[in-house]
Structure 1
Amino acid sequence: MKRFILFAAAMGIGVTAATAEPVSPMQVVFTDGAVEESLTGVAGDPVAGRDVFANRKLGNCLACHMNEDWSEQSFHGEVGPPMDGVAERWSTAELRGIVANSKEMFPNTIMPSFYRNAGYTRTLKKFEGKTILSAQQVEDVVAYLQTLTYE
């Protein structure tokens, strides 16, 4: 698979999330809470990431974070920091680490680990071995967060 991706890139052929092998949740490498390498090898889509950010069955980020980009939505949370200007406060690697498993950077946070599938206590059977977000959804959310700058 990796040879195909390298060959495709060299030939200028687009590689989609469907052809890339994501890093498994338990093999993600954190350095001081940051994740330098993409989880998929495929660029994140900020439009898809925006949708995941507000989707109450996926990211549900608005439940805890205010975000002026979603001003049309009511009931933004105030538990987490505001997302306005987040791209200027954190690097791409730091944002990826925070979204994948925020506890690697902030050990006492209540933010869930969106790309972790083991090590929980009292997990419902239907959620055992599953992540909240896919690797590509993490990359998409990170791409969206990178668009949130102060204007």
Structure 2
Amino acid sequence: MLLAATIGLAATSLQADVIAPGDVVMTEYGEVTESLTGVPGDPARGQAIMVDRGQGNCLACHQVTALDHEPWHGEVGPSLDGVATRWDEAALRGLLVNADTVFPDSIMPAFYKVSGFVRPGDGFTTRPAPADLQPMLAAQDIEDVVAFLMTLTDY
């Protein structure tokens, strides 16, 4: 019983450190300098999120040589080869949170944004998305993807 209570308190304190989508602070250049969770990202988990068609689905738009074993690399967005030599961690986090801040005409989804846009379905269906939309990726998912992207130093 004591162990369960201790685990519960630890989980609560970890969740208390998560920055909510509406509280993310971006620099004038679109960087998010503070970790969204305070927990280091897991590159292996980040890689899995990138190739998961139900989560990040980054390969739908980007080519990544390190992931050549995965099918269907896109050509809409730039290649992510060497991305860690072009962008630092804060810039990559900012691009994942809301790429429109850096590239206003980008079609890249804002993976950690829940307001400030027309909700999916509002103008096109009688069953619009719920008002309390959740971000496309959780805060730790963002940190994990950033950790994987920081491994991509080769062109």
Instruction: Give the TM-score normalised by the residue count of structure 1.
Output: 0.84
- Report deviation, 1:150: 1.3
* Cα displacement string for residues 46-82 of structure 1 (whole angstroms, at most 9, x for unaligned residues): 0100000110000000000000111012221000000
Distance, in Å, in 1 between the alignment partners of 2:81 and 2:11 is 29
| Partner AA of 2:52 in structure 1 | N
Which of 131, 136, 142 is 2:146 aligned to? 142
Q: 1:116 to 1:17 in 2, by over 3 A?
A: farther
SS of residue in 1 equivalent to 2:14: coil
- Report deviation, 1:17: 9.6
Greater radius of gyration (CA)? 2
Counting matched residue pairs gives 137
Which runs of 5 or more residues in structure 2 are unaligned? Answer: 1-9, 121-127
Instruction: Give the TM-score normalised by the residue count of structure 2.
Output: 0.82
Instruction: Give the RMSD, CA atoms, in angstroms.
Output: 1.9
Name the structure 2 match of 1:46: 43
- Report deviation, 1:18: 7.5
Percentage of pairs with the same residue? 45
1:29 aligns with 2:25: yes
CA contact (8 A) 1:98 1:105 kept: yes
Q: 1:85 to 1:139 in 2, by over 3 A?
A: same
Distance, in Å, in 1 between the alignment partners of 2:12 and 2:61 is 28
Distance, in Å, in 2 between the alignment partners of 1:109 and 1:52 is 21
